Amino acid sequence: MQKNYNDIQILCENMKLVRTAMGLSKKEMANRIRISIYSLNKLESGIIPPRLCIDFLVYIHWEFGILPSEMFLPRLGLDADAPLSCHP
């Protein structure tokens, strides 16, 4: 399935949602999902860095229990007022 612009925006928004819900700094989050702080900054600003490997989605799953497919759901598929619960 090809991802469109909205899917990319959702992924980028969810990156920040996960990080802030877990109370992580950008440096901590980048280290946990094995990407550079530069790449994390780009993602959180809505830009997919050109050399970003999709492995970071696997690391999100390992670190927080969020499936890669869930990262493409608005607010990770949660209701608007539901708290985010990750499994660190």
Q: Which CATH number goes with the domain that contains 48?
A: 1.10.260.40
- Residue 46 forms part of a structural domain: yes
The pLDDT of residue 1: 44
- Residue 86 forms part of a structural domain: no
How many domains are contained in the chain?
Answer: 1
> What's the predicted TM-score (pTM) here?
0.82
Long-range contacts of 57-61 (CB under 8 A, 24+ apart): 59/32, 59/33, 59/34, 60/18, 60/33
Helix (H, G, I), strand (E, B) or coil at 2: coil
Each residue of 8-43: pLDDT tens digit? Answer: 999 999 999 999 999 999 999 999 999 999 999 999
Closest CA to 19 of 34, 30, 29: 29
Domain residues for the domain of 65 are: 5-77
- Residue 52 forms part of a structural domain: yes
